[in-house]
Homo-oligomer: A and B are copies of this chain.
Amino acid sequence: MTVQQILEGVSSGAISVERAEDMLQQNRFEDMGYAKLDMDRRKRTGFAEVVFCSGKAEDYLLHIFERLYRENGEVLGTRASVEQYHFLSGKLPDLQYDAVSHILKMERGDKEHRGSIAVCTAGTADIPVAEEAAQTAEFFGTRVERIYDVGVSGLHRLLSRLEEVEAANCVVAVAGMEGALASVIGGLVSRPVIAVPTSVGYGASFGGISALLTMLNSCANGIAVVNIDNGYGAGYMATQINRLAIGAEVPEV
């Protein structure tokens, strides 16, 4: 409906002032003073708001989790510390914490995982970032294949799992140091590859810059890159792509 149509509806009485106001101001949010929770995000983007826990005061975190849980029946938090988990654990029902991915969540029990994405890592040190990606995708209903420690310095390890990688709707390639994994995968598969540089490495890896540049400059096609260590962002976008591939509607609340 265009603005003109809405206004004509108001003018003719077909649409009430309240309803028109709602239609014109589409996005609700809850102003908690220190934060504005985006309550229409699920409707607008197909994903409920996710909490970036790192550095948030514990009281604020509790209130945000409570409020989002009331709205959505589940909450996903990323980059939570074990101290934050301990603070919240008695106060919220069914809170789960994963020490590898640092994901803190309250999740509905009956979740179906559909479609398929593959999450690959170059080494074992990249697994925490990969798990953030994998568990984010799973929270949003995606089926995830984990294929870890298949870096390019031992190509046969990757080649032995190639079939599973090729079967995925989207591949998340997680690598630090020289970050060449994404290029090699990009040359082998027909699906989009989301590359996640990690801060794993030392010296001239410069906290992930080396892997980031490698991935941006890949001569393979079908690769795009997210921020260093941003497993969450990769899991989110892989879910978007997987949903498109399986024809999933944005899930109803």
Contacts and interface: CB of A to CB of B under 8 A. Distances in A.
Interface residues of A, number: 105
B25 A3 contact: yes
B199 A227 contact: no
Interface in A97-115: none
A145 interface: no
Given A21-B4, A150-B36, A178 B124 contact: no
A233 B29 CA distance: 32
> Assembly of this chain: how many copies?
8
A152 B184 contact: yes
Nearest to A198: B203
A77 interface: no
Interface in A147-174: 148-157, 160, 169-170
Given A153-B219, A210-B214, A24 B3 contact: yes
A141 interface: no
Interface string A21-65: 100111101000111101001001111001000111000100000
A141 to B, nearest CB: 14
A190 interface: yes
A228 interface: yes
A11 B13 contact: yes
Nearest to A236: B221
